[in-house]
Amino acid sequence: MGFIKLTLVTFGVLYVAALSGMYVFQRDLQYFPSRHDPAPEAVGLTGVERVTLATPDGETLVLWYSPPAEGRPVILFLHGNAGAIADRADRFAFYQTRGYGVAFLSWRGYGGSTGRPTETGLLADAKTAYDHLRSLGFAADRIVLVGESLGTGPAVITAAQNPVGAVVLEAPYTAAVDVARRAYPWVPVGLLMKDQYRSRDHVALIQAPLLILHGEVDRVIPFGFGQRLYEAAKDPKTFLSLGPVGHEALFTSETWSKGADFIDGLYPR
């Protein structure tokens, strides 16, 4: 009995220590920013302005901006949890070929932007970029939000709280806490997780056409999360499977084309 008691006590101590470590360093497990901040021209882009934006809480954000062709909408792109906007220059160029205005926001703590990423901070960043586009004279119904992976949470919440023309979500989640709960079933993540991005609580408030794209064998954010978020949304909405592909499909022109085709259906050339 003494050995069993000692084993249980040891296990309990190790468990509490593991939980404490995960709680303290949880944002290091959630965000993987790159500070890479080249000029747009250095990664092969043309006609792109590097803009700096001030957030209400005193951070400075980098935004890459290219104006639209006449009559075309502007895409506000909200990227995922790893890398930097410079790593997505090929996507930026793709949107330019479709005639869209393009605004790639670098989250706080990423690629040239100050601060450290948090849910509150990223939501403030998305609103700051949205307000900047409005200040340039874009009507709300000409702004299309495109969210990639982690960026789908801020995209959903921003669109729920502000009028937009359309929303495209690539590999979205019902909530980041739901993904974490699946990854760490032995951790009470609902109690400990700071940045939960509960998209499921906001998606029904979106008053714009919505497209959800998801790969069927995505191991980072499984297919079922996108399906359940779609079920929680209101019409008009569309769900498109990307087929038997994983999270890497978010970085292919085939995926971007599906989103662009949806946008072109709403804004004919």
pLDDT of residue 222 exceeding 60: yes
Q: What's the pLDDT tens digit per position in 125-173?
A: 999 999 999 999 999 999 999 999 999 999 999 999 999 999 999 999 9
Residue 92 confidence (pLDDT): 98
The ranges assigned to domains in the chain are 1-30, 34-266
More confident position, 17 or 132: 132
222-226 contacts, C-beta under 8 A, 24 or more apart? 222/182, 225/172, 225/173, 225/174, 225/178, 225/179, 226/169, 226/171, 226/172, 226/173
pLDDT of residue 234 exceeding 80: yes
Q: What's the pLDDT tens digit per position in 169-205?
A: 999 999 999 998 987 787 787 788 899 999 999 999 9
Confidence of residue 253 (pLDDT cuts 50, 70, 90): very high
Confidence of residue 10 (pLDDT cuts 50, 70, 90): low
Q: What's the pLDDT tens digit per position in 35-82?
A: 999 999 999 999 999 999 999 999 999 999 999 999 999 999 999 999
The CATH number given to 34-266 is: 3.40.50.1820
Average pLDDT, the chain: 93
Residue 24 confidence (pLDDT): 65
pLDDT of residue 11 exceeding 50: no
